[in-house]
Chains A and B, each alone.
Chain A
């Protein structure tokens, strides 16, 4: 059975503050943070939705949502409204409460009227701040075959990294038999050494089961959170199954880019995957917003040396060296400069004779002539923001 045409409603939770991604989240929420100098983080989950045939998608926003809502309007407003299809941002409207959403479950509960309006048979709930590709049809079909009330996508990771996530144990039939949010001592997968199953924040619920549990949770004093309250409370009372992401079509990559280091590494992973991307993903397109720009230009008397990098359209690079970097659209790099192991977002300007390495330059950053970035962290930290040994120049910063 295909998701396209099925009575499925999708919610994307996109209210994440992303405090640990500061200063990239200074003016925007985590899902709106640029990725690979070309996309936004939320483009991954939205592309997965569209590629999977999901056409009824609400994006629940909360903090600093202007950038995200603008991105959705400019880049994702293409579905056929006359056929009832949509991707719509739903700001926290404080419709029934003067408070912000108090947890992930509360975000859905406060939008219960949308469930009542659509009366779907199943509800998919996704996180807007993860990097992965996934065909949700695989998840949906297992969910139907299992006649599950809730199916959770899970993946194994090393025990040492698991404490940041919800950790599950499952029995031989895939039934989830325990779930603990951010445990100090995560439970291992039986027979798999030091690996644990973690919750990826990808859920499909039978609608009636979801509403029952949200209603019950709403009456109680809890954190109103899927990981802390809803899922643990459903075990043993409902049919809660796991979906093994590792065995799915694109199941070898999923990242929660919670810190500057993990964000930077995920960007570099994307760069390294570029060579094999077409072969691996085929028509599984990653889309985003995009203005019409001329092709990138490389020139100058000595020319441009470029190695293992991507360059966005409209960029203009003269007599420079680019190595192992992601360069966005409309980027200007003047003569005699070098960029190495870095991410330069759109509309960045690099002056002449600059050296930049291990850095993230957000939209519209301007670097004047003869500047070095990433070469003397001790000295630079007096003027620049540095986290995890990566220099970050926030949006429109001038240096």
Chain B
């Protein structure tokens, strides 16, 4: 395995697409459908990277990002949103990377490859 990745996204089809594609690349992928579930997964597991949707019901991606930064310092987080305007929001700037959702996953895969934390680091 190339590393454990957590995907937090309320869109089931997006979760499944990312799981399929990233598993094919050799990553161990875990899914969460909400910010709260994602935070619990992060508490219970050691991940090397998180892919985080922004617009979700309940705890959104911005709130989840701030909590991850404060509880798991150094864990890379890629914000993955259908909206580019959240890039302007100061509260998203602490993410490691920001990728706008697209059916072409090249940019996202590159961001994963460039930012995933080595296991044990």
- Are the chains A and B members of one assembly? yes
Interface residues of A (CB under 8 A from B): 96-97, 99, 109-110, 112-113, 115-116, 207, 211-212, 214-216, 218-221
Q: Which of B71, B73, B74 has the most CB of A within 10 A?
A: B73
Closest to A96 in B: B66
- Report if B113 contacts A (CB, 8 A): no
Given contacts A96-B66, A97-B70, contact A116 B90 (CB under 8 A): yes
Bitwise, B87-113 to A at CB < 8 A (1) or not (0) is 001110111100000000000000000
Interface residues of B (CB under 8 A from A): 63, 66-67, 69-71, 73-74, 89-91, 93-96
Closest to B77 in A: A219
A residues less than 8 Å from B63 (CB atoms): 96
CB distance from B28 to the nearest CB of A (A): 23
**CB–CB B91/A219 < 8 A:** no
Tell me the complex Cα distance, A220–B75, Å.
9
Tell me the complex Cα distance, A290–B74, Å.
49
B residues less than 8 Å from A214 (CB atoms): 94
**CB–CB A220/B90 < 8 A:** no
CB distance from A11 to the nearest CB of B (A): 14
Q: A215-B94, A219-B69, A219-B94 are in contact. List 13 more A-B contacts (CB 8 A).
A: A96-B66, A96-B67, A97-B71, A99-B70, A112-B90, A211-B90, A211-B93, A212-B93, A215-B95, A216-B94, A219-B73, A219-B74, A220-B73
**CB–CB B90/A115 < 8 A:** yes
CB distance from A213 to the nearest CB of B (A): 10
A residues less than 8 Å from B94 (CB atoms): 109, 112, 214-216, 218-219
A residues less than 8 Å from B73 (CB atoms): 218-221
**CB–CB B74/A221 < 8 A:** yes
Tell me the complex Cα distance, A211–B91, Å.
9
Question: What are 30 A-B interface contacts by the 8 Å CB criterion?
Answer: A96-B63, A96-B66, A96-B67, A96-B69, A96-B70, A97-B71, A99-B70, A109-B94, A112-B66, A112-B90, A112-B94, A113-B91, A115-B90, A116-B89, A116-B90, A116-B91, A207-B90, A211-B90, A211-B93, A214-B94, A215-B90, A215-B93, A216-B94, A218-B69, A218-B94, A219-B73, A219-B74, A219-B94, A219-B96, A220-B73
B residues less than 8 Å from A116 (CB atoms): 89-91
A residues less than 8 Å from B90 (CB atoms): 112, 115-116, 207, 211, 215
CB distance from B66 to the nearest CB of A (A): 4
CB distance from B42 to the nearest CB of A (A): 14
B residues less than 8 Å from A96 (CB atoms): 63, 66-67, 69-70
Tell me the complex Cα distance, A207–B90, Å.
10
B residues less than 8 Å from A207 (CB atoms): 90
Closest to B93 in A: A215
A residues less than 8 Å from B74 (CB atoms): 219-221
Tell me the complex Cα distance, A214–B90, Å.
10
Tell me the complex Cα distance, A398–B55, Å.
60
**CB–CB A97/B91 < 8 A:** no
CB distance from A396 to the nearest CB of B (A): 39
CB distance from A377 to the nearest CB of B (A): 48
CB distance from B61 to the nearest CB of A (A): 13
CB distance from B6 to the nearest CB of A (A): 17
Q: Which of A115, A116, A216, A220 has the most CB of B within 10 A?
A: A116
Tell me the complex Cα distance, A112–B63, Å.
11
Q: Which of A97, A110, A212, A215 has the most CB of B within 10 A?
A: A215
Tell me the complex Cα distance, A115–B90, Å.
7
Given contacts A221-B73, A221-B74, contact A97 B93 (CB under 8 A): no
Closest to A109 in B: B94
Closest to B66 in A: A96
Tell me the complex Cα distance, A270–B60, Å.
52
Q: Which of A96, A116, A214, A216 has the most CB of B within 10 A?
A: A96
CB distance from A366 to the nearest CB of B (A): 46
B residues less than 8 Å from A99 (CB atoms): 70
Tell me the complex Cα distance, A116–B62, Å.
12
B residues less than 8 Å from A219 (CB atoms): 69, 73-74, 94, 96
- Pick the residue among B67, B71, B91, B96 that contacts A112 (CB under 8 A): B91
A residues less than 8 Å from B69 (CB atoms): 96, 218-219
Tell me the complex Cα distance, A109–B90, Å.
10
Tell me the complex Cα distance, A212–B90, Å.
8
B residues less than 8 Å from A220 (CB atoms): 73-74
Tell me the complex Cα distance, A395–B112, Å.
58
CB distance from B73 to the nearest CB of A (A): 5
Closest to B70 in A: A97
Tell me the complex Cα distance, A215–B76, Å.
12
